[in-house]
Amino acid sequence: MRPFATARFCFQAGLASSRLSRKSPFPAYSLAASSIAAPTTTASTAARTVRTAAAPYTRPIANYKNPKKKIIPIPKTKNKPAMSSSATTLKGQPLDKAALDSLLRRRLFYTPSFEIYGGVSGLYDYGPPGCSLQANIVDLWRKHFILEEDMLEVDCTVLTPHEVLKTSGHVDKFADWMCKDPKSGEIFRADHFVEEILEQRLNGDKTARGQAPAAGAEVEDPKKKKKLKGKTAAVRLADEVVKEYEATLAQIDNYNGQELGELIKKHDLRNPATDIQPEPPVAFNLMFATQIGPSGGLQGYLRPETAQGQFLNFSKLLEFNMQSMPFASASIGKSYRNEISPRAGLLRVREFLMAEIEHFVDPEGGKKHHRFHEVEDVELVLLDRDTQLSGKTTPRTLSIGAAVRDHVVDNETLGYFLARIHLFLKKIGVDQTKIRFRQHMANEMAHYATDCWDAELQTSGGWVECVGCADRSAYDLTVHAKKTGAPLIVRQRLDTPKVIEEWTVEIDRKKFGPHFKKDARAVEAGLVALDQKALEAAAAKLKAGSFTVEAPGVGPAEVTGNLVKIEFTKRTENVREFTPNVIEPSFGIGRILYSLLEHNYWSRGAEGGDEARGVISFSPAVAPTKVLIVPISSKDEFKPIVRELSQKLRGLGVASRVDDSTASIGKRYSRNDELGTPFGLTVDFQTVADGSVTLRERDSTKQVRASQSVILETIQALVKGTKTWADIQAELPAFEQQEVEIPVR
């Protein structure tokens, strides 16, 4: 793919390659845009829907006049930001994003890279729980796709030569549109600029009408008003203007650079900081360029997707698979994209982990899938392109079987993977009320794709695409085969020989070349391009002496009978050759990881107090740590028991940690609830006496008690998913404790 860190995870079709330098695919602005981007703590609104929420004014990502200006970190404030009114927690509470972000930083799920040097926006480091969470997601992905679908995994190099990505189309078309304020030199991503200014106006209209602020609108802090740019003005808009703005936002991803520029002029969209319209949008290539080798003679790039390595190894993979079709390859690895404005935390980064599948399928027979019947009843929430183009964003729920039958989804193989993607996201714990599949519109469709759907997850930043699933047709294999001459095709022996009758052209090269000289190749290309009907007509004219063919780049050329022969021939084929089509699911692991954090976060209040304690309700399968071992005392007789339990859990492959600090048991459990640890083992004085231990479940805080061997078997069953906590409560005796249940609030 595509992915997973740009706003679209695909190429914008129709970008003007003439605007990019021949020596480098980057325009003059590229260094300024990539050098320094001030990090922000406000999540970017990435929704693909009519959002009438007031988004903060688009912040500049760099100063074009002074690209070397030192990064200035945003100062911390003691004022607690307002909760997001659009996003909710797992328990339906308004999401306090500031509290969640604080928890994630404090517990070291992730942290800005190079922070003591001021940081670089779009780059993050994962801490221990973040690494474990990511590893668990990837492990489940491998089992769900690679093992279950019998895929061939490859690990290809990150460094990619210029020629490869030139052939694939990335050099010319892998770009987003950006615009520059001519006065201040501030640079903005064009679609975000249009989107956010229109949203501000819509929110101002709601305020003027006396309506409540739209979902997702941020509440301004009175003490920080002087620092805010683009303050929302309460101005009532005409009803037809409101409808026009909403229709524009519904298909914001469908506009190319010229159309975005026209929208800026039509609606008089200005930079509130300078009250000036930005310059017309220009294409900005998102790849990181580099030089391979000490001489600098071989230009290359850090790969923007993992797919190309899989395509280039197609023939070897086909041979490894004993020439059997269909088959799929898969790859998990880092990709790199020089984002224009990476200002949404883990949702928009410049270095990210991707997991991509290339499923190679025979184009004949309608791209059927032999396991489609297994998923045809899976229901998906679908937002198709026709709905979006009508200016609406109301999705519909359909079984994938009905979606394929009704031609909402193009074919069975594409539908099969959409359903499998849905089941994977459900398995790892994605909130099923916050997922939809959105179909790409024409202008946002990748240049290689015939159909594409994004699995979008709802977060505090709106709807964010986390998985893309594209029908890449035969584009990649075809262009690489044409460039290199490598036979990236499948040869299948036919059970029944196939008799083919057709018009064919035979060129007398000894005469053809000298006759047309430098135009010979162009004339030959014109002959090859003739279809059967045109060849039949040419054969008839040739009997009269000559015919005319259109030579590309040359024009009409007269061809006589002494140069070519056109005959109706019959031949028998025992082997069929074809170029496979490709269905490509592409996963942005970082985006899935962050969405999972938001979807599983909630808070519970202390009884009789105001303190809210955060909880992340990971499923046992993805939780960084599965079990917390808590000795109730620091006495020596507890230590060998704790050590033995820890060793046994490690032997079972269950991640655990020991908290033997002097804090109360309640505090120790509470701080591990923040880490998403689903179970806790308490070693108390009764354990010393009879060897039994208590097992606590994170969300309910309920406990059961049994012998160590029974509890260990129980933990193993819970982690594997063969039993639920309700099953355990029915099997084992409850353990009553003095602490009262902490209420959800």
H, E, C per residue of 184-228: CCEEEEHHHHHHHHHHHHHHHHHHHCCCCCCCCCCCCCHHHHHHC
CATH code of 679's domain: 3.40.50.800
Helix H segments across 470-622?
475-484, 509-516, 520-528, 532-543, 589-600
In this structure, the answer to whether residues 632 and 691 fall within a common structural domain is yes
Question: With 80 as the cut, is the pLDDT of residue 219 above it?
Answer: no
Question: With 60 as the cut, is the pLDDT of residue 668 above it?
Answer: yes
User: Are the CB atoms for 453 and 399 separated by under 8 Å?
Assistant: no
What would the mean pLDDT of 89-101 be, rounded to a whole number? 93
In this structure, the answer to whether residues 629 and 701 fall within a common structural domain is yes
Please tell me the pTM assigned to this model: 0.76
Q: Is residue 91 part of a domain?
A: no
Q: How many helices (H) and strands (E) does the chain have?
A: 23, 30
CB atoms within 10 A of CB 142: 16
For helices 708-720 and 639-651, what crossing angle results, to 10°? 40
Q: Is residue 500 part of a domain?
A: yes
Handedness of CA 611, 212, 215, 398 (dihedral sign): positive
Three-class secondary structure of residue 626 per DSSP: coil
pLDDT on residue 229: 53
Q: Is residue 223 part of a domain?
A: no
Residue-averaged pLDDT of the chain: 84
- Of the two residues 148 and 285, the one the predictor is more confident about is 148
pLDDT on residue 52: 30
* Angle value at C-alpha 649, between 717 and 734, nearest 5 degrees: 55
Residues 545-604: pLDDT tens digits? 999 999 998 999 999 999 999 999 998 889 999 999 999 999 999 999 999 999 999 998
Name 140's Cβ contacts closer than 8 Å, sequence gap at least 6: 424, 427, 428, 621, 622
User: Are the CB atoms for 526 and 608 separated by under 8 Å?
Assistant: no
pLDDT on residue 430: 97
Q: For residue 629, give the H/E element and its range.
A: strand 627-631
- Which of 186, 121, 170 lies closest to 339 in space, CA to CA? 121
Question: With 50 as the cut, is the pLDDT of residue 412 above it?
Answer: yes
In this structure, the answer to whether residues 557 and 640 fall within a common structural domain is no
Residues 620-660: pLDDT tens digits? 999 999 999 999 999 999 999 999 999 999 999 999 999 99
CATH code of 542's domain: 3.30.720
User: Are the CB atoms for 554 and 469 separated by under 8 Å?
Assistant: no
Lowest mean pLDDT among 14-23, 75-84, 287-296: 14-23
Q: Which amino acid is at 709?
A: S
In this structure, the answer to whether residues 629 and 703 fall within a common structural domain is yes
| Bond prior to 161 in cis (omega within 30° of 0) | no
Looking at the structure of the chain, the number of domains it has is 2
* Angle value at C-alpha 102, between 69 and 626, nearest 5 degrees: 125
pLDDT on residue 230: 55
Q: E-assigned strands of 310-363?
A: 327-336, 351-361
| Final residue in a domain of this structure, among 549, 578, 607 | 578
pLDDT on residue 231: 61
pLDDT on residue 76: 37
Q: Is residue 515 part of a domain?
A: yes
In this structure, the answer to whether residues 714 and 641 fall within a common structural domain is yes
Confidence bin at 740 (pLDDT 50/70/90): very low
What would the mean pLDDT of 604-609 be, rounded to a whole number? 57
Residues 5-61: pLDDT tens digits? 333 333 333 333 322 232 333 333 333 333 323 333 333 333 333 333 333 333 333
In this structure, the answer to whether residues 547 and 641 fall within a common structural domain is no
What percent of the chain lies above the pLDDT cut of 70? 84
In this structure, the answer to whether residues 727 and 632 fall within a common structural domain is yes
Give first-to-last CA distance, the chain, whole Å. Answer: 42
SS3 annotation, 707-728: EHHHHHHHHHHHHHCCCCHHHH
In this structure, the answer to whether residues 725 and 632 fall within a common structural domain is yes
SS3 annotation, 398-414: EEHHHHHHCCCCCCHHH
- Of the two residues 226 and 98, the one the predictor is more confident about is 98
Q: Is residue 696 part of a domain?
A: yes
Q: Is residue 29 part of a domain?
A: no
User: Are the CB atoms for 733 and 706 separated by under 8 Å?
Assistant: yes
Question: With 90 as the cut, is the pLDDT of residue 160 above it?
Answer: yes
In this structure, the answer to whether residues 632 and 719 fall within a common structural domain is yes
CB atoms within 10 A of CB 106: 12
Residues 517-548: pLDDT tens digits? 999 999 999 999 999 999 999 999 998 899 99
Residue 404 burial (C-beta neighbours within 10 Å; 0-12, 13-18, 19+): buried
In this structure, the answer to whether residues 632 and 569 fall within a common structural domain is no
User: Are the CB atoms for 287 and 301 separated by under 8 Å?
Assistant: yes
What would the mean pLDDT of 215-242 be, rounded to a whole number? 59
Residue 374 CA to residue 363 CA, distance in Å, equals: 22
Q: Is residue 644 part of a domain?
A: yes
Question: With 80 as the cut, is the pLDDT of residue 228 above it?
Answer: no
Give the domain range for residue 512. Answer: 496-578
Question: With 50 as the cut, is the pLDDT of residue 495 above it?
Answer: yes
What would the mean pLDDT of 711-717 be, rounded to a whole number? 97
pLDDT on residue 213: 57
Q: Is residue 88 part of a domain?
A: no
Name 434's Cβ contacts closer than 8 Å, sequence gap at least 6: 457, 458, 459, 595, 599
- Which of 349, 350, 313 lies closest to 331 in space, CA to CA? 313
| Final residue in a domain of this structure, among 544, 578, 612 | 578
Based on its alpha-carbon atoms, the radius of gyration of the chain, rounded to whole angstroms, reads 30
Confidence bin at 296 (pLDDT 50/70/90): confident
